[in-house]
Amino acid sequence: MENNQNSHINAQQPVHLHKVDFFRIFWRSGIEQGSWNFERMQNLGFAYIMAPAIKRLYPAGDQRKAAMKRHLGFFNTAPIMQSLITGVVLSMEEQRANGADISDDTINATKTAMMGPMGGFGDPIWLGTIRPVLSAFAASLVLSGYGIMGPILFFTAWNILRLVFRYVTQMAGYHRGTDIINLFNTGIIKYVANATSIFGVFMMGVIVARWVKIDFAPLAGFFGGSGGNLMGKIANSSIDVIAPIILTLVCVWLIRKRISPIWIILGLFVLGIFGYFAGILV
């Protein structure tokens, strides 16, 4: 529908994104969710990221206006995966500005087609695996006496991974354009997702074992005599093994029953207070 406008631009000198534009866009991608809203979610964030490109590709007037409006449409994905989508959209916008026959709808359809799978792939990896594992590392460093090394490790490791990933995917998306979607069909994404979820779930088992604790009072008192001590020790250590996993499964069950985590936490506080009061927990 905008072919007429495109064809007269075609006669002019081709416009290309400059290196500095890619850096600006990369920098801006670090504050994508600043205007997250319940109407169109990351829409303004995406437009904000695209702004340097829009400025470069569409000098002024209707073309610029159309580009801004185009990128203010509904958008939501896993924030870190957004760089790949941005890269692809940048290559489409550049081609469009140079006269290629790419309509508003094509660009919007590409964004929409990518944001769902990227969200479904990105959130479990970044927020469900990498962040919990790194923060568990950091917290265990702190609790084993390494102090500030914990937070420093967490912050630098996360941000190096994130920034490198964002830059690489932004540029890969730009250079490969819509061809990148073919990559999804090779199954590579599925392998990565599978390996990550196996690793993530394995680590969750590890962390639950090390961190979830119910501090029962020593049971030795229940078994009188000298043999009671041994019995008590055995009972306590088997409870130490069973209790965390049962508690975790009960919490999973409650969450599946759509009970808010906050209520579960408050319930556990109450349980803790009563348990302490009754002398069962210490």
Stretches 64-72, 84-92, 168-176, 222-230: which one binds other proteins (CB under 8 A)?
Answer: 64-72
CB-nearer residue toward other proteins: 36 or 167: 36
Site residues for other proteins, 192-251, by CB under 8 A, read 194-215, 240-241, 244-245, 247-249, 251
Token digits of residue 4? 């007429």
Site residues for other proteins, 182-201, by CB under 8 A, read 187, 190-191, 194-201
Token digits of residue 26? 């990369």
Stretches 3-11, 51-59, 175-183, 223-231: which one binds other proteins (CB under 8 A)?
Answer: 51-59
CB-nearer residue toward other proteins: 209 or 231: 209
Contact call for residue 16 and other proteins (CB under 8 A)? no
Q: Which of 57, 88, 138, 180 binds other proteins (CB under 8 A)?
A: 138
Give the C-alpha separation, 251 to 218, whole Å.
25
Site residues for other proteins, 79-108, by CB under 8 A, read 79-80
Residue 196 beta carbon to other proteins: minimum distance, rounded to whole angstroms: 8
CB-nearer residue toward other proteins: 78 or 102: 78
Contact call for residue 10 and other proteins (CB under 8 A)? no
Report whether 79 contacts 162 (CB < 8 A).
Answer: no
Number of residues that bind other proteins (CB under 8 A): 110
